[in-house]
Amino acid sequence: MHAIGHALALTGSMTWEILWALILGFALSAVVQAVVRKSTVVRLLGDDRPRTLALASALGAASSSCSYAAVALARSLFRKGANFTAAMAFEIGSTNLVVELGIILALLLGWQFTAAEFIGGPIMIVFVAVLFRLFVRSRLVAAAREQAERGLAGSMEGHAAMDMSVAGDGSFLRRLLSARGLTAVSNVFVMEWAAILRDLIIGLLIAGAIGAWVPDAFWQSLFLSGHPVLSAVWGPLIGPLVAIASFVCSIGNVPLAVVLWNGGISFGGVTAFIFADLLILPILNIYRRYYGTRMMLTVLGVFYAAMVGAGYLVEMLFGATGLTPHRHAAAVMAEGIRWNYTTWLNIVFLLLAALLVFRFVRTGGIPMLRMMGGSPDAEHEGHEHMDHDHPGHGHAAHDH
């Protein structure tokens, strides 16, 4: 019981430390999604030119940070005619370049990790584009498209398909501050929380348990932390493998990254580990259902190589500029909740969250939660349902 209590105490400390940042991140994401229509995205992603991939990454960063929803939305874009590489760039941007991830990394690990994420993310996308162009033949893409057209369900299909943005010709601020805009923000905010809550809780619990129960000697041995050069080489190779085996994705893998950093993994290894939320075993199975076994194995190989390469370049770049953070235990692993600025921020942002949840409930948002699993081909049914529940709310319909 003491060991369990210790693990839960660490989990609670990490949760309390990042709570305000999560609320702020999802609120900002909701603001962006409230005015950016998903239906306009697919026509912009018709090829794999550098400009298109940059746009795909940016549009992904403005989308959902839930890994399952990002994977489902990428399949939706692909089915509608988007280039496969562009859809994958969108997917990577959606999970690794979102603002809430950057805030939490800075809070838990330091600003260098946030910088590494936003520098390494585009590097990974470049690697993915080059490797796809070198090794992926048109017949493999055609077979993947044929499999995708079967419409087999993965996870979070309904959430990925919902477009809750506000239509209109007014300015960004005018649309945002309208009644429909505020409702759209509350809808996206609550749906984002519902999408990532499971992975976030699992990630926090796993991080707390590992931090409390696994001795540092184990991690130091696994990550070769006593040999700086070997550790730098080994870290980006082992980081994604730990992520694949952890089953934790989305923002939920950041607390586990804290544990790994405290355990001695290299800076580049942490970066590669965080990128690998798109390769956990349940998502690999979804790739198989979406695109077939051959394309799933291709995505696995290309993504893994790109993550490792991005990890190495981040390690070298930050090492050459002297920006690699010094090895130290993350302060959030200390148990206990203290009355400090974090407490005040949590109070303020919990009040904001309560207001958004209240508006979500008052405007008939509850039925939307039941549609989050959804079907990849439920466009007409979902459209009617959403219009009925949200009269005058603009585009709150399925995107398939």
pLDDT at 241: 93
pLDDT at 140: 95
Question: Rounded to whole angstroms, what are the CA distances from 167 to 58, 80, 115, 251, 268?
Answer: 20, 21, 34, 30, 42
pLDDT at 192: 78
Residue 357 forms beta bridges with which residues? none
Tell me the two tokens of residue 272.
């590669």
Question: Rounded to whole angstroms, what are the CA distances from 58 to 22, 119, 122, 154, 383?
Answer: 20, 13, 10, 24, 27
Residue 397 forms beta bridges with which residues? 163
pLDDT at 296: 96
Give the separation between CA 227 and CA 167, rounded to whole angstroms: 57
How many residues are present in the chain?
400
**Is residue 257 within 8 Å of 107, Cβ to Cβ?**
no
**Is residue 92 within 8 Å of 120, Cβ to Cβ?**
no
Residues 6+ apart with CB under 8 A from 336: 9, 13
Range of the structural domain that residue 307 is part of: 2-398
Q: Which residue has the tokens 């959030």?
A: 332
pLDDT at 383: 39
pLDDT digits (tens, 9 = 90+) for 135-175: 999 999 999 999 998 877 766 665 555 656 666 666 666 76
Amino acid letter, residue 78 = F
Q: Buried b / exposed e across 62-92, counting CB within 10 Å, b at 16+?
A: bbbbbbbbbbbbbbbbbbeebbbbbbbbbbb
Q: Count Cβ atoms within 10 A of the Cβ of residue 307 and give its class: 0-12 exposed, 13-18 middle, 19 or more buried.
A: buried
Tell me the two tokens of residue 119.
């520098």
Cα radius of gyration (the chain): 21
**Is residue 28 within 8 Å of 99, Cβ to Cβ?**
yes
Q: How many CB atoms lie within 10 A of CB 94?
A: 27
Give the separation between CA 99 and CA 24, rounded to whole angstroms: 9
Q: 10-residue block means of pLDDT along the chain (400 residues)?
A: 74 80 80 67 80 90 76 86 93 88 87 94 96 94 93 65 61 70 85 79 81 84 90 95 80 84 92 92 90 96 97 96 78 60 88 93 82 57 39 39
- What is the separation, in whole angstroms, between the first and last Cα of the chain? 49
Entry pTM: 0.79
For helices 341-362 and 179-213, give the axis angle rounded to 10 degrees.
130
Question: Apex CA 88: angle with CA 49 and CA 203, to 5°?
Answer: 145
**Is residue 368 within 8 Å of 386, Cβ to Cβ?**
yes
Counting the structural domains of the chain, the total is: 1
pLDDT digits (tens, 9 = 90+) for 196-249: 787 778 877 887 788 778 887 898 899 998 898 999 999 999 999 998 887 777
DSSP code of 166? Answer: P
**Is residue 33 within 8 Å of 189, Cβ to Cβ?**
no
pLDDT at 166: 65
pLDDT at 388: 37
pLDDT at 42: 65
For helices 138-148 and 281-291, give the axis angle rounded to 10 degrees.
100
**Is residue 91 within 8 Å of 78, Cβ to Cβ?**
no
Q: Which residue has the tokens 């805030």?
A: 103
Give the separation between CA 208 and CA 202, rounded to whole angstroms: 10
Question: Apex CA 185: angle with CA 162 and CA 155, to 5°?
Answer: 30
